[in-house]
Each structure stands twice: as C-alpha cells, then as structure tokens.
Chains A and B, each alone.
Chain A
Amino acid sequence: MKSLNKILLNLDAAVESQHALDFAVFLAKNCSATIIAVNIVNKNVVTNLARFSDNSIAEIEVELEENGWRYLYDAEEKAKSQEARIVIIQEYGYPEQALPKLAAEYKVDMIIIGQNPQIRKDVVQGKIAEQLIEHAPCAVLVVN
C-alpha cells in the first residue's frame, strides 16, 4: 500500500461528521498525514431552505457559511490539540461533485465522510456517498 499523505475530510452538521473527524485525526496522527478539512456550502441545502424561509438566499448562504466555519474551526482546534496537521477550506457547490474534484486537485490519498446509515437509504441525500465512491480518484471511507 502506498503511503497516506493527504486526507480530504468533509465536515457538515451531521453527528457522523464528528466521528469522521475523529477518524481523520487518528489516521493523520499515526500516518503523519495532513487533513484537508472542507465544508461545502451545499447548493441543494440552500435551495431547500429558501423554500421554507423568509430569509433571502444570500442570508441563508451567509448563515451556512458561518456554521461551516464553526465546524472547520472546531476541527482545527481538535486536530491541533492532538498535533495532527490540518488545513481548513470552504467551498460552494454539491458535495458529490465538489469532493472528487477537490480530491483530484489536491492529489489526496483518501476521502473521509460521515453519514448516517438511514440517510444513505434516502433517494436524494443517499446519493452523495454512492456517487462519491463511484467518482472519487482515491479511497473513500464512509463513517457511520
């Protein structure tokens, strides 16, 4: 097996995302790898929230961006406290498309995402892990 140098970690509001973070920190520390933690402001989520909210799309995006930075900041603090290397970034788009693209751009060795097993059965949400596994240029780890 080739060495593990870069891990792309998807961070979102899901509890499983925190489990994925724990896994990424453990691997990064033990393999001297760097975690590239990304929060994707999901366009599907923005569109869906806009349907049921009085706020404008711009306001919803700002709220999601700030929440995203909170996940990234917390992840950075956790990684730093365990002396694991981490880089944090925020992107816009659809996770199932953005993650393979970022993985190729940054030449990562593994993508880690957290996802609830029940969500994976959902027709819309479930496709993220499925499409990611199909299109990723590297190994994919889905953490429950």
Chain B
Amino acid sequence: MKLSSLLTPERILIDVREKDKNAILTYLVNEIGKIGGINDVEALNKEVMDREALGNTGIGRGIGFPHAKSDHVNSLQVLLALPAKPIDYGSLDGVPVSIILFIVAPKDGDNNEYLHTMARISRLLGKSNVREQIIKAKTPNEIVNIVADNEA
C-alpha cells in the first residue's frame, strides 16, 4: 500500500503547539485514538513512552520517527505532525525536530506491511527537498500531494 493512501488529510497535523517531545507524542497517540484503530489509548501511550526510554526515535535531519507494534493497535496507523516550532527531541545529531512521522501497527499483524511502510517513510524523508516542501506546507492537502508526487 502506498504511503499517500495511508496519509489522508485527517492524519496530518500542522502547527502542533504542544510544549515538548513527550507532550507531542501523547497528543499524537490521542489523535490516532480519535481516528480509530486503537483499543487502549492510555496503554499505547505508555508503550510509546517506554520505547522512547529505550532509544530515541529522533533519527536526525530534523525527523522524529516514533514507531511501535502493540497489542493495543487493531490496524496499521500513520500520522504526520509538524510542530509549530522545531522541538528539542534529543535526536542523534542534536537537530531539533520539524517533522514527526508516527507509525503504529498490531503486534501480531502483517510484519511485511509494517516494514514496507517504514521503508517508504524512510525513503521519502531521506530526500532533503521533500522535507523542505513538507515543512513549508500550509495545509494537510498540500502535504498529501507532496507525498503522492514524490513516492516511488
């Protein structure tokens, strides 16, 4: 499945104003919970936080890539968020994060689909011109189009 078909406009959050990394991650878990596909938002939030404690998901170049496979997720969910200001994420390269791509999947679900999606995200955000376009985007629909145009 293409990333552009997973990243629908309601899964793209622009101008997120939570004050720090943990607050943003909790916000993202809650937003995914509202969309659906999550059976226990609080438990998922704890898993995401526990995952961060075992290794930061700030992968450098201004990208946060929180991800988890969980018993509290019913189906693969992807959400993209742009903080209002780059946030201190404790990333590998120390660069504050401007784009967060959040992916969660069922623990016993299709591992291929999960890895396929992670690969597509990595490929897309590996392109500096795409990152710049996404950061400058003003609307979710604009980002949907950027993703669709740049997806292999």
Chain A interface (Cβ < 8 Å from any Cβ of B): 34-36, 58, 61-62, 65-66, 68-70, 73, 76, 79-80, 83-90, 92, 105-106
B136 CB within 8 Å of chain A = no
- Besides A70-B115, A79-B55, A87-B57, 16 more A-B contacts (Cβ < 8 Å) are A35-B55, A61-B152, A62-B152, A65-B119, A70-B111, A73-B111, A73-B114, A73-B118, A79-B54, A84-B54, A87-B56, A87-B58, A87-B59, A89-B59, A90-B119, A90-B126
Contact partner of B118 (CB less than 8 A), chosen from A35, A69, A86, A92, is: A69
CA of A86 to CA of B60 in the docked complex: distance in angstroms? 14
B92 CB within 8 Å of chain A = yes
CA of A91 to CA of B116 in the docked complex: distance in angstroms? 16
CA of A83 to CA of B51 in the docked complex: distance in angstroms? 10
Q: Which chain B positions have C-beta within 8 A of A34?
A: 55
The bracket for how many chain B residues form the interface is 20 to 34
A37 to chain B, nearest CB (A): 9
Q: Which chain B positions have C-beta within 8 A of A80?
A: 51, 54
Q: Which chain B positions have C-beta within 8 A of A62?
A: 119, 123, 152
- Digitize B103-121: 1 where CB-to-A-CB distance is under 8 Å, 0 elsewhere: 0000000011011101100
CA of A69 to CA of B55 in the docked complex: distance in angstroms? 16
Q: Which chain A positions have C-beta within 8 A of B112?
A: 66
B39 to chain A, nearest CB (A): 22
Within 8 A of A (CB), among B119-133: 119, 122-123, 126
* B55 A87 Cβ-Cβ under 8 A: yes
Q: Which chain B positions have C-beta within 8 A of A76?
A: 55
- Digitize B125-152: 1 where CB-to-A-CB distance is under 8 Å, 0 elsewhere: 0100000000000000000000000001
CA of A88 to CA of B152 in the docked complex: distance in angstroms? 22
Q: Which chain B positions have C-beta within 8 A of A86?
A: 54-55
* A85 B55 Cβ-Cβ under 8 A: yes
* B54 A69 Cβ-Cβ under 8 A: no
